[in-house]
Structure 1
């Protein structure tokens, strides 16, 4: 059972995509020393923990999600000494450090897999998932790779297929093998001893596959133009009941090191997501809640999503919310620049731990990547339908100097064309910028316990208006969000909406009393406070 005062309940997480945050050595790719250099910025922003996408040794077929050494730092990002310096500097600044753990698969260049494919009787053979061909020589079943094509790759030397949920260069580990579990738990202990404060576990719902390798059923709701792997439902290749035992074992590894956090990447409907908290909350502390990443941006839809999530949570489980990440289009492009400010207020006033994605706080938009500049293997394998993730991974826009202050060299992905105006330096100087809104929201959250630990209470509303309250510790905060372009006027007498505005997304109404009527401009949100 998690403690009510745990740091990961109270804190705000910030995801860094290391390749794109800050380059310190002029090779066009971000690195660990660059992150250290930018820690003061993160402190002024007010976040409490940084989560780093993979920095381990890798051939970079999937930009670090194909690991060839779980306990090494890829030279592209620096050295182990650089990592130690980052952890030390972060901790001295009061920041926690969370690593990306990628246990579902390795690189095909990992020594484990190099051994496994040498022969059928190699001791490492059962560390991966091998199956004989069908009688016609074809793949063992109909499972599909999320990056296109069959999920089975034929190995000519040994006459069997191996399973890969993603690229053929990313063979899946066999998590039914106790030796695999022990090896990965040792990896976790290695980093925990180095002071890491927890892990975000990549595709955690993929870890266990059906023991009988049954075909997946067809997806009757498949929509043409969607990624081809969605033609089948991954009923037998993901979300198997036995996965929860694995997660409970991971949790025990962390618990042995004290106050650490286990976060799971899980793209599942809310009702199935809840199982990942584990029996008696012995699973992931925070199974990532991605509902807002694909939600229709309408008040009633958002209201329904929040209600369903809050209702589904097991007793004592702690919620969390996410607006963006390294796999999904930027929020400012999904909902528009004006609503991105309203979305920020939503994220930072809902009950639960919020995770920010680097650059969202300056309103970075999805960047169009020319066909000859595509780097993402997903887009290369499944071109023409807009699955590319490069556009949300472009370099952080620090200032108006060449390459946005990210690097002295041409960056690995192009910088957004608007960087001359939309950058940290300019937006810091603009008192009403989205960056200063994020800073104000984070300060407000830290000042008012009700926003961190208070109850969530929906308030009936209509049209484009979303209303809810957070109450506790002798205060009530009402959040009113206008998700539409048109102004909204709401009678407040007897509604409990009276008080004073603590913050507007326009950053121009602090202290304004609300009595009788609440008027919201189009695309405006406010936080109203009053004492109990």
Structure 2
């Protein structure tokens, strides 16, 4: 089977608004990203996934696109985008664009025209429905703002659908003309020299809202196969679909090369390990490491021979990994190294979210006035309506507020963390004086150097790229331990997710240390005591 570039790569996600401001307006931009390409090349990453930089009114920070083939002036120009692609290529770094084709902004020309009459050519690019007994077609609700997902259009006396905010209008993928317009747009970007797409809520495009089928609609895989054939089919191109609904079996269906759909999906089963199943998004529970391990392991075994895994702890929609699965106390870096080692040892393509490589943390706030996230503001309002006082509601919001991931990148201990010369659009985390790139690069035992080493190992070692995964049996609940085997090479990956020491029985074998988060490594294997948050990879001899 042919090995693709993305099977030995590490992808770095950039949230452009918060990465680097080049012109002093408090907002990150494309020239700012260009100015940091040498940093990214030094870290060793192979591709940059950019959250949307298209023209947008920013109702949801760019995930409401008003022009797919124009750059938001806040971020720069199309010339800047062309230069970014070119300059990144000089450093052997590829560009992956965020593709949002479940919905557009209500300011997109397609929708502006569609509202002008049922005879307009783009009318059926969107989902319209007649009233039922004088009311909304059904009880679908809007995820970001609450209330009905159906909006009345008085001019045409029909409803249109918005499953997220009222400014994010759902597209009608059943219309072949809409699909062709999207494929044409995708080919425009492919022709600009990009090397991949991350596909926002791709499991929703085949929705049948009148039947209340919102994910995994019956024509989903038909559409994805068609997309593949009409866009990137003849290229070694990375496509990763965001699919909150995807089980490991679903992920296999998406990514099985025999189906000619996607390279991989983001599947989120492991991220329920600290949430109450069936509960609301903000309902936290203590981390269940057993559940987390089982979810990751199932993905490994399900896609052992076909399909491909994505490996990630966080992104622009999720809390900071070390705050969620590690600790932000004195052992912050130690726990963050453990998370890095145990994830990057798995089979798949690792994704690093900006700031993860230095252990950036969540940034709790005191008042809803400090919150930018449209979803978090809605949740806060709903919590207050349910009877929570302001302090209790904010305590819940601070756990999963998407702003946690969106605070500006912490480059150094200068004012505004070196991100900007002025007050940024979102306040910098106050801990930037201790947690920043300059400090991390200056300490050879820092988390940053662990990430750099893990990325290099992914490039160099076939056992990480191709090796068979096998979980070690009878491990304590807090311990993740597995082997990767390729030909005559076998590596053992082990990590303790606890702040307490724990005794484990590991294979009694001579070993060679590959990487560890403790300077002296694990010592002799066999009956071993793992120290708090200890993690390592050893080659078994």
Question: Do both share a fold (TM > 0.5)?
Answer: yes
Instruction: Figure out how many residues of one structure are paired with residues of the other and give that number.
Output: 503
Residue 413 (str. 1) matches residue 426 (str. 2): yes
Moved more, 17-26 or 428-437: 428-437
Moved more, 442-451 or 275-284: 275-284
For residue 324 of structure 1, the aligned residue among 309, 314, 324 is: 314
2 CA distance for matches of 1:289 and 1:416? 29
- Superimposed CA distance per residue, residues 364-390 of structure 1 (whole angstroms, 9 cap, x where no aligned partner): 111123321221111223324525311
Residue 308 (str. 1) matches residue 283 (str. 2): no
TM-superposed CA distance for 1:488, in Å, is 3.1
Question: Aligned residue for 1:434?
Answer: 447
Backbone CA RMSD of aligned residues: 1.9
1 CA distance for matches of 2:251 and 2:108? 31
For residue 72 of structure 2, the aligned residue among 63, 71, 74 is: 74
Task: Trace 1:382-421 onto structure 2 (pairs within 5 A).
Answer: 382-383=379-380, 384=393, 385-386=396-397, 388-421=401-434
2 CA distance for matches of 1:311 and 1:433? 32
SS of 2:342 mapped into structure 1: helix
Q: TM-score, normalised by structure 1?
A: 0.90
TM-superposed CA distance for 1:339, in Å, is 2.7
1 CA distance for matches of 2:74 and 2:363? 24
Task: Mark the runs of 5 or more structure 2 residues left unpaired by the alignment.
Answer: 275-286, 381-392
SS of 2:103 mapped into structure 1: coil
- Superimposed CA distance per residue, residues 139-190 of structure 1 (whole angstroms, 9 cap, x where no aligned partner): 1111111112211111122211100111111111110001100000000000
Residue 258 (str. 1) matches residue 269 (str. 2): no
Moved more, 284-293 or 295-304: 295-304
Moved more, 65-74 or 144-153: 144-153
Residue 273 (str. 1) matches residue 251 (str. 2): yes
For residue 109 of structure 2, the aligned residue among 111, 132, 137 is: 111
- Superimposed CA distance per residue, residues 181-206 of structure 1 (whole angstroms, 9 cap, x where no aligned partner): 00000000000000010101111011
Question: Aligned residue for 1:229?
Answer: none
For residue 503 of structure 1, the aligned residue among 515, 528, 532 is: 515
**1:500–1:513: 8 Å Cα contact kept in structure 2?**
no
Task: Trace 1:110-509 onto structure 2 (pairs within 5 A).
Answer: 110-135=108-133, 137-147=134-144, 148-210=146-208, 213-214=210-211, 216=212, 236-268=213-245, 269-277=247-255, 280-296=258-274, 297-313=287-303, 315-335=305-325, 336=327, 337=332, 338-369=334-365, 370-383=367-380, 384=393, 385-386=396-397, 388-463=401-476, 464-490=478-504, 495-506=507-518, 508-509=519-520
Moved more, 100-109 or 472-481: 472-481
Change (3 A) 1:61 1:303: closer
Change (3 A) 1:496 1:131: same
Question: Aligned residue for 2:82?
Answer: 84
Change (3 A) 1:160 1:466: same
Moved more, 514-523 or 47-56: 514-523
Moved more, 50-59 or 327-336: 327-336
For residue 526 of structure 1, the aligned residue among 511, 516, 536 is: 536
Task: Mark the runs of 5 or more structure 1 residues left unpaired by the alignment.
Answer: 217-235
SS of 1:180 mapped into structure 2: helix
Q: TM-score, normalised by structure 2?
A: 0.89
Change (3 A) 1:405 1:513: same
Residue 20 (str. 1) matches residue 31 (str. 2): no
- Superimposed CA distance per residue, residues 243-280 of structure 1 (whole angstroms, 9 cap, x where no aligned partner): 11111112123434511111101002333333323682
